[in-house]
Amino acid sequence: MKAFFSPLFLGLFALIFSVSTITYAAGAPQKKPAPTPKPTPKPLAITVIESINPDSITIATGPKKETYKIKKDTKFLFNGQDTTAKDLKAGMRVTVITGLDDKTADEIKADKPPKLH
């Protein structure tokens, strides 16, 4: 009587098992993930002087407006150089730095508005 599991049968079984295991492990072809959409850049928000007087400055960032008190020791800079409040004009680009009181300007930095194309 011949052995039921002959070397030829075992070899054929091993080959079929290996191929099916590799095929199963590889799985179905996978789709490439959809590309991540690039974020739409927001328009640059530029803060400019709306109005200025010896006691206060009103600035505007788009439609949003804020007013800050000017005190005797508020520091003013224009293009990095010391200046005074009377040298600053409406339309200039501005940064207001506050201290503990967020409605009082400790330092006001201004420069010319950017040229829009």
Q: What is the CATH number of the domain that holds 94?
A: 2.40.50
Q: How many domains does the chain have?
A: 1
pLDDT digits (tens, 9 = 90+) for 38-95: 776 666 678 999 999 999 999 999 899 999 999 999 999 999 999 999 999 999 999 9
Domain assignment present for residue 38? The answer is: no
Domain that holds residue 64: 47-111
Model pLDDT, residue 42: 61
Residue 18 lies in a domain: no
Which is higher by pLDDT, 106 or 24? 106
CA 36 and chain centroid, separation? 16
Does residue 26 belong to any structural domain of this protein? no
Give the residue from 28, 71, 31, 64 showing the smallest Cα distance to 45: 64
55 falls within a domain: yes
Is residue 103 a part of any domain in this protein?
yes
Residue 83 covered by a domain:
yes
User: What's the pTM value of the predicted model, to 2 decimals?
Assistant: 0.60
Give the pLDDT confidence of 9-19 residue by residue, as tens digits.
Answer: 767 777 777 76
